[in-house]
Structure 1
Amino acid sequence: MSETLDRLKALNEKLEAKLTQKKRQSSPRKEQPTIFDTPEPRADRTEREIPSQKVPPRREKKVSADTSISKAESVESTTEASEVRRLTQILLHHLKINSRQEPVRAKNIERLAELYLGLDIAKKAPDIRDLFIYKAMNISGIGLKEEDFGEIREGKYVQVIAITYEPDKNGKKKAKNISLGYFGKAESLEADRKNQVIEFVLRWRYEKAFQNLEHYRHLLEKVRPKDSLF
């Protein structure tokens, strides 16, 4: 678990550095055009002195296809950003995370919500809060171990697999696999899409690791004096 946390911490540091860089690169401020008053014609001028000015016919502005597409993409981007914020707030409240006290954890949740939308995980898990009822999460078709991290397995299908434990007829707990997302054959998966799938699972594990630490810390409080707790 420590190796996974170290890798995710490094990932978070890179993401935070990129975010800071983007904030610093603000677009240059456009100067407003100066408006000059046009002098009115003198009243004592004759008609010959004041040439008649023909007003050109008004032309209708044609909206190009590129402009329409750009506006549509802008609206879609704004809507998606709003939905990410909404889902992030739902998870922060559900997991009882104070974004000021735990900014790294909060940013991890925000990115998790963004990937949840981008990978269409909502099709299988429409309530984002249900992501954390599972005990574990893995990927089929892509290696996540140290020796094969990120490597695809040819001939296999890529899926995000959530794992939970349910009692059987005899009362024994058995693992149950639930597919949260299907992404086709491993060799046909685009590199960016593959990285998003990996990142989603790692960020879920990152938050789950925090929850496990809180669980064991709570248990330690029951058996050890407070002055000996870390």
Structure 2
Amino acid sequence: MVTQPPLPVLLTRPRAQSEQFAATLPPVLRPVISPLLHILHLDDLPPAPETATLIFTSGNGVTAYATQHPGIGQSALCVGTKTTAIARDLGFDAISAEGDARAILDLAAAYPGPFVHVRGKHTTGDIAGALRDLGKEVAEIIAYDQTPVELSETARAILEGPCAVPLFSPRTACLFTNACPTARTAQIIAMSPAVAEQLPEHAYSGISILEKPNAAAMRDALLAYAGGNHLEAGRTSG
């Protein structure tokens, strides 16, 4: 019986998140880390009012804010389970929307506010604006910057053969498209439809979209692809 070599998996998230995700992958997957973003925490962040409910749409926002303003039980709504776990570890009374930006908007709609959205300098969508349209009081704190990084030579070599590329955010997807407009042997797995929308049609082996936007579902999708149970090439969901 011929043993297949591990499937290369190109991880383009900031290094800390890529390393955490890589540690969860089994031996049939070979992670190659080449961050497309470097996270820079910003100084002199204003504190949110104690009566405000914080909104965190990434773990980076939690850690950047908590570095200067510890949670100490302040209420927070978080986009997913991973961000929620980080927020709870740092002292926030955090609740998970268990989804994407749409899910956190739906969750926040049930709360009176006021809200403070802690976010990066670059973001997709306008959560604060959407909540204001619902009559909510919302402020924003820009807690970190995301500076682009070039793909490594190792990453470019990986993209010349069969591989999988999980993309977790619209910004990373946009940067990946700019860095690698075509890669006919790369299967892209997008965390959400918003991520997939940043990718060109027919430029890669295929584009699949997770039904549940979380790290566990991404790992399962990578395993399925490595095992030959991958989705048909094309822009599909599931």
Q: Which has the larger radius of gyration?
A: 1
TM-score calculated relative to the size of structure 1:
0.24
- The structure richer in helix per residue is 1
TM-score calculated relative to the size of structure 2:
0.23
